[in-house]
Amino acid sequence: MTGVLTVEGEEALRRLNGLAAFYARSAATHDAEAPGRLKPGRGASSDSRTLQETVIVRCMTVVEAYMTDLSRRLVNDRLESIPAGDAALVSLTEHLRDSRLVGLDQGKWEDVVMLWSGGLGVAIKRGYSDYGKLVALRTTRHAIAHRYGEITEQYRKQHRQRLVKEGFRDPLAAEGPVPLMETDVLDALAVALGTVRWIEQTLAAA
């Protein structure tokens, strides 16, 4: 994109580009260190696996922090235009704002998406073509961060075709580590960068 609309967007893109550079350096160093190590995948070495998991988790963390921080500021900015002389309206507005922003502090994804759609006019679920990929990335991140990187029920449902490709005869009964390869990391970076850019472009066009 030729320009970034928000400070939050600049920060998110800076962090994601830095993360991409970090992964490229680390992966190159890892590949050069020990010939004969297993390639990334279901049987990847622990070092390679840890690097992949770290980058994937960080990608989603940046996106969520960006969407949370930006939505909070935009809501506050828009509410500042309410006439200060109407005490009852100001009180009601502040109550509604605070109750809605609670979901942001608790990290509830659906609350974040609803705030962007209903409160800020950015229908990310319907308007963003890669929203499904973003949700799949969150599912992978959840498995890594909260389930020791093991396949979860939600992962089985969302990544059924991937599990079939990995050799699971019954993907809905798959168990073990979430399959990861270099392409998964690169896809995670692409989805995270694409999400930030799409939101910035959508806001700029509004």
Task: Look at residue 129 in the predicted model and tell me its pLDDT.
Answer: 97
Task: Look at residue 125 in the predicted model and tell me its pLDDT.
Answer: 94
CB 124, CB 196: distance < 8 Å:
no
CB 166, CB 179: distance < 8 Å:
yes
The CA distance from 139 to 134, in Å, is 9
Task: Look at residue 50 in the predicted model and tell me its pLDDT.
Answer: 93
Task: Look at residue 39 in the predicted model and tell me its pLDDT.
Answer: 45
The CA distance from 45 to 14, in Å, is 29
DSSP string, 153-177: HHHHHHTHHHHHHTT-SSGGG--SB
pLDDT along the chain (206 residues), means of 10: 80 97 87 45 68 96 95 83 68 64 72 87 95 96 94 94 92 94 96 97 90
> pLDDT tens digits for 13-49?
999 999 999 999 998 876 554 443 434 444 456 788 9
Task: Look at residue 43 in the predicted model and tell me its pLDDT.
Answer: 42
